[in-house]
């Protein structure tokens, strides 16, 4: 599956919730996530802009392969064109972590965040709360056109949104997630 998403920063959460309901989006849940991002010790997946994510909200746990799709820009950074994602629901966060360690994967970073999710047709609107940065909304759908149309319906200009990971958002605020081994509401721990 390929994801298409755009993030819009520093949203007014109460106002955004009202707008989402006005456009016909329905609230589908609130989640407190904890996750681990894993790779091989030699950063084999990271070199391909990929990683394994083990995530739980305490009720549902998932194991996901994610790979950024993009082209290099002149400054050597990656400009996201979307995300390849292969995700499965698992029955045990802890046992899956033990399995991943047994095959040689190591934890690159532990993370935590909160999310409020709304949905309209096949478009998902996630209001994300991450440690130490202002809340933002991620608009995701089955095509970039649908994402842009939904963003416009909410009053956002797609040209000013961020196409990229939460790491790209952190960079806007002067943080490099890759320099941290833990980013949770309890604190950020540098490597």
pLDDT tens-digit readout, 18-65: 999 999 999 999 999 999 999 999 999 999 989 999 999 989 999 999
Q: How confident is residue 76, by pLDDT bands cut at 50, 70 and 90?
A: low
Q: How confident is residue 165, by pLDDT bands cut at 50, 70 and 90?
A: confident
Percent of the chain at pLDDT exceeding 70:
93
Q: How far apart are CA 124 and CA 16, in angstroms?
A: 14
Predicted confidence at residue 21, as pLDDT, reads 98
Q: What is the CATH number of the domain that holds 83?
A: 2.40.320.10
> In the beta sheet, which residues pair with residue 8?
137
Domain tally, the chain: 1
**Domain of residue 173, residue span:** 2-190
Q: How far apart are CA 8 and CA 172, in angstroms?
A: 12
In Å, the largest CA–CA distance within the chain is 49
> How buried is residue 75: exposed, middle or buried, by Cβ count under 10 Å (0-12/13-18/19+)?
exposed
């Amino acid at each position: 599956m390929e994801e298409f998403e755009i993030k819009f920063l520093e949203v007014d959460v109460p106002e955004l919730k009202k707008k989402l309901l006005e456009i016909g989006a329905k609230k589908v849940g609130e989640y407190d996530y904890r996750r681990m991002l894993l790779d091989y010790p030699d950063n084999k997946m990271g070199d391909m802009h990929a990683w394994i994510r083990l995530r739980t909200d305490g009720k549902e746990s998932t194991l996901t392969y994610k790979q950024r799709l993009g082209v290099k820009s002149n400054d050597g950074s990656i400009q996201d064109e979307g995300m390849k994602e292969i995700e499965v629901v698992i029955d045990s966060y802890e046992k899956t972590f033990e399995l991943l360690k047994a095959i040689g994967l190591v934890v690159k970073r532990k993370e935590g965040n909160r999310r409020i999710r709304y949905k309209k047709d096949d478009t998902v609107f996630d209001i994300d709360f991450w440690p130490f940065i202002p809340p933002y909304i991620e608009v995701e759908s089955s095509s970039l056109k649908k994402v842009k149309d939904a963003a416009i319906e909410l009053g956002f200009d797609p040209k000013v949104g961020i196409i990229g990971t939460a790491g790209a958002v952190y960079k806007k605020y002067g943080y490099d997630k890759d320099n941290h081994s833990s980013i949770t509401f309890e604190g950020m721990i540098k490597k």
